């Protein structure tokens, strides 16, 4: 158990819908990272937050947004869903800004868009 909690574990929804994925980082971790992993794309970095502020952006679509709340949990919002958004979405947390530290990953949310 990494200490990072993601909910829900599975999500099935229809095209055009909007969903929210939730991540609770390890106790004391200030950084949260979101990733998308589909079969043909590998682990794609979406976005990083540090202590409530957006710190780095990756290949995140405009239909996707995220935020980190004062209690440090984070939510990833996916809207106008398309079939191609079906993937595993991982959240990770680290104590600070990496460097000589490691990131801890949750078990992921499997999103299926039908």
Q: Which residues bind another protein (CB under 8 A)?
A: 2, 4, 33, 35, 42-43, 45, 48, 56, 58, 88, 90, 92, 94, 96-100, 102-108, 110
Can you tell me the distance from the alpha carbon of 23 to that of 98, in angstroms, rounded to the nearest whole number? 19
Nearer to another protein, 42 or 70 (CB): 42
- Bridge partners, residue 35, by sequence: 45, 90
Closest CB to another protein among 78 and 87? 87
> In angstroms, what CA-CA distances link 83 with 35, 38, 79?
17, 12, 12
Are 104 and 29 spatial neighbours (Cβ–Cβ below 8 Å)?
yes
Cβ proximity to another protein: between 79 and 105 the closer is 105
Q: How far is the CB of 63 from another protein (least distance, A)?
A: 22
Give the whole-angstrom CA distance, residue 84 versus residue 86: 5
Cβ proximity to another protein: between 24 and 48 the closer is 48
Closest approach, Cβ 43 to another protein, in A, equals: 4
Residue holding tokens 């990756």? 58
């Amino acid at each position: 158990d990494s200490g990072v909690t993601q909910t829900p574990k599975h999500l099935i929804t229809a095209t055009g819908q909007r969903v929210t994925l939730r991540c609770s980082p390890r106790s004391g971790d200030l950084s949260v990272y979101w990733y998308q992993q589909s079969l043909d794309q590998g682990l794609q970095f979406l976005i990083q937050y540090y202590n409530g502020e957006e710190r780095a952006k990756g290949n995140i679509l405009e239909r996707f947004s995220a935020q980190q709340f004062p209690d440090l949990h984070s939510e990833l919002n996916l809207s106008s869903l398309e079939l191609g958004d079906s993937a595993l979405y991982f959240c990770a947390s680290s104590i600070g800004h990496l460097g000589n530290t490691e990131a801890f990953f949750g078990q992921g949310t499997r999103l299926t868009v039908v």
